[in-house]
Amino acid sequence: MAHAGTLTRIDGGKGMRGDGLDRFLRVRQEAARLVPTGDEESYAPPYPARLYGGFSFAAGRVKTRTWEAFPTARFILPEVELYGEEGGGRLVVQALHGGADDPPVQESALTERLEELVQELAETRSPTPGSDPAGAETVRRQIASPSVDGREPWEETVRKVLEEIDRGRVSKVVLARHLDVPARSGMDPLSVLMRLHRTDNRAHVFLFEPETREALVGAAPETVATLIGRRFHATAVAGSAPEGQSPEESREMAERLLVSEKDLREHALTVQEMVRSLEPILDELAAEEHPHVLHLPGIQHLETRLAGRAPADSHVLRLLAALHPTPAVCGLPRAEALSLIGEEEPFDRGWYAGPVGWFDLEGNGVFAPALRSGVRAGDRWRLFAGAGVVAGSRPELEWEETGMKFEPVLRALAPGGDR
């Protein structure tokens, strides 16, 4: 059953449990059914309708309580959209048109609804987080001194993966861990999202709320696939270093990152695999010759931009199917890395590291991996962070890296976290 504000939705389920390619194509096929067919003249909107949502990291995984509200895939066609454009924004109100509907009457109702929303927006203020001193103090302590619960077994898992790398089974595996934080009263997911955006407006922030008190929110450093018209671009992000205590120290760490053999190897694996996956399905593709440093609050990454030109009949979900999961969220070879993740991670990733974003009925779209994220399930937030393990990785440093990656959402959950 669709919620208020949702015109229709596409859900993943048993019919979409198969290989990754299958579920991406099935969502595309379901979306195509929204377009009128036949010889009769139909109304064509001035812009294609967008569907918003995402996919779980892996198809067919058993769902836990944390991810109970999140199916394998879910996309919604909303009644209302508000999105930014150069020099302003666009507010859209839409409805599904049925054969028995009277178009002039429907258009009049939409116009009235649009005018109501414009007035509501003019009177709306940003949400103000509530107060919960006990929960706030817990979050403060976790920022100042990240939890060491599970550190020893997690580092032992890293050592196991390093042994598999030495044996030649894999060249890289991304291992994740989670951190639980009590949900403070008044700290709703929209407030968390806004704090993440204010902290770093370069990040790709996202919020998906399939049920009340159940939400996924985060701020990814990269996009996995963007297709607008025939123009494709993406970013490969892999290899990390902390920010320094001063601009000078940050520059020194960035310079060391640019010559780090371990980080350059990890980054090159990601870029090479993305290029290998895309070349057969794009007309043109180019990647930057050398990575540059992406500076984010508390952490720095190696980043390489990819750009290309897609065939006329391309769809962003086709490109996404070829790319996901990239080595930046999974590893290489893909099948072996997925197998190791399933064997060694003692939790279900759910939508963590899965692609989230939007696509329209002409095949355009933007997707980012659900990284630097947290999922609210009832009275707690569960945060996720991962690190790429390659030859030369040190378990204690990978633990520290995941700790840095928890911080954006931890700070957004804390009082004053946006200041």
Catalytic residues: 172, 222
Query: Do the beta carbons of residue 48 and residue 194 sit within 8 Å?
Result: no
Helix axes 247-259, 261-278, angle to 10 degrees: 60
215 closest CA partner among 67, 375, 73: 375
Tokens at residue 245, please? 């205590």
3 state DSSP class of 84: strand
Q: 237-248: string of b/e by CB count within 10 Å (b at 16+)? A: bbbbbbbeeeee
Please work out, in degrees rounded to the nearest 5, the angle formed at the alpha carbon of residue 347 by the alpha carbons of 345 and 352. Answer: 95
Per the DSSP assignment, residues forming a β-bridge with 288 are none
- Report the relative pairing of strands 80-85 and 331-332 from DSSP bridges: unpaired
Cite the DSSP H helix spans in 45-150. Answer: 103-123, 133-144
Q: Which residue in 179, 171, 181, 182 sits closest to 151, CA to CA?
A: 179
Tokens 């987080």 belong to 129
Phi, psi of 377 (to 5 degrees): -130, 100
Rounded distance, CA 208 to CA 121, Å?
21
Question: In the block, which residue shows the tokens 């550190």?
Answer: 151
Please list, in sequence order, all residues whose beta carbon lies within 8 angstroms of the beta carbon of residue 289, skipping any fewer than 6 positions away: none
Q: In sequence order, which residues have a C-beta less than 8 Å from that of residue 210 and are 6 or more positions away?
A: 69, 70, 74
Q: Around Cβ 151, how many Cβ atoms within 10 Å?
A: 15
| Contact assessment for residue 166 and residue 391, using Cβ atoms and an 8 Å cutoff | yes
Which DSSP category does 330 fall into? S
Residue 58 structure tokens? 């892996």
User: d(Cα 16, Cα 23) in Å, to the nearest integer?
Assistant: 5
Nearest to 410, CA basis, from 388, 386, 382, 390: 382
